[in-house]
Amino acid sequence: MNILCYLTEIPDGQARGFCIGGRELMVLRLGVEARAYENHCPHVGLPLEWQANQFMSRDGEFIQCANHGALFDKASGLCIYGPCAGKRLRPVAVAVENGRVILDE
């Protein structure tokens, strides 16, 4: 079982990056739940962030790729604006158990 962090270590509505066995992930907190995606933009495959743990749009409403500005829905990973509109971030299965975010795969 891979424990990533305590959920409370991620501010609600924000995300944090992880590297697990060479795999780059971003984990997003949505209240008492977590979502995770591979940290590769479906546009050209670059990491989403330029600065550590800076994955969100300025208003906090969307995941934003820092490279060309694509915006992604937090809950589904669907790109709703930008050069990869209609594509999705690749989801990673995580669960919250006893307050801890764990990889669930």
Amino acid at 53: N
Least distance in Å: CB of 104 to ligand FES? 26
Cα separation of 36 and 28, whole Å? 6
Cα separation of 28 and 12, whole Å? 8
Smaller CB distance to ligand FES: residue 4 or 62?
62
Cα separation of 38 and 96, whole Å? 18
One symbol per residue from 72 to 101: x for binding ligand FES (CB under 6 A), - otherwise; what is it? ----------xxx-----------------
Contact between 57 and ligand FES per CB under 6 A? no
Residue ranges in 1-40 that form contacts with ligand FES under rule CB under 6 A: none
The one-character DSSP state at 58 is T
Structure tokens at 36: 């995770």
Binding stretches for ligand FES (CB under 6 A): 41, 43-44, 46, 65, 67-68, 70, 82-84
